[in-house]
Amino acid sequence: MKSSKANTILVTGANGQLGTCIKAIANNYPLYSFVFADSSSLDITDRNQVLQYMSNSQIDYIINCAAYTAVDLAEDHKEKAFEINVKGVENLAIACKRFSCTLIHVSTDFVFNGNKNAPYLEGDNTHPLNYYGASKLNGEQIIQQALSKYVIIRTSWLFSEFGNNFVKTMVRLGQEKKELSIVADQYGSPTYAIDLAHILLKFIASSSTSYGLYHFSNHGATTWYNFAAEIFKLQNQEIRLHKTTSKQFASRAIRPKYSVLETKKVKETLNVEIRNWQSALKEMISKL
């Protein structure tokens, strides 16, 4: 991926959590011009609109942050999740092929079933347990079949000062309640969406042509319970926390018990250091 002054990056799903994070750091990448599109200015589920949009613009890279991410709702709104996570991705892939554009796409740890006891590698077998994970995997496969110039980055447990996420929910609940029950038997790696945004842009800024599939999260594995405990500690909030199980919590969608991602490949490809989730969380909380 060569960098040049003329390169234009289209960011889809620009008003979501990750898209907003890219907006927040775009000034750090002055060699690029950014076009931020939300669903009202570019509906990725409308193929004709996508092709028309691309033919009227000179786009070199698309960073696709548009996604249906409501994991539980996806079980009952499969058509909606399919439209965005599969059909929309297919439309972007077709447009990238037609207009010689590189696609950078964000996927999820939920493509795995969580039966492994060591961090998941990019080449490990996928087996989603819920429809959200299945739709995201389907999107990945479409990109891999359609394009040679693409980067797919799977990530996990996104949080930031923008949008809706676990950290902001905990901070709010900490002000409203004296005690909370939090799931303590699901393991993953929290990821600061600002750190992910930098990684996405570093793929473009590097002269690497290492296309393909990557994993990125902040370092360290934890449970939702321990994640919550760290949030309240940093907030100096006195909350009585109780451990609960996935079974007791009974959410609509089944989630993997273990979905820690191995990030060695992205580290070596981009020559980056990845900080642990605790220091990333500390920075994010300081911005609230």
Which of the 8 DSSP states describes residue 164? S
Contact predicate 119/217, CB 8 Å: no
Distance CA 200, CA 44 (A): 20
User: φ and ψ at 103, to 5 degrees?
Assistant: -105, 130
Q: Which residues contact 14 (CB under 8 A, 6 or more apart)?
A: 20, 22, 23, 36, 37, 38, 65
| CA atoms within 13 A of residue 85's CA, in its CB half-sphere | 25
The type of residue at 31 is: L
Contact predicate 101/92, CB 8 Å: no
Known catalytic residue at 53: no
Per-residue buried b or exposed e for 264-285, using 16+ beta carbons within 10 Å of the residue's own CB: ebbbebbebebeebbebbeebb
As a residue count, the chain comes to 288
The string of DSSP codes covering 248-266 is HH--SS---SB-PBP-HHH
Contact predicate 135/86, CB 8 Å: yes
Tokens 């942050």 correspond to: 65
Active-site hit among 29, 32, 120, 132: 132
Catalytic residues: 132
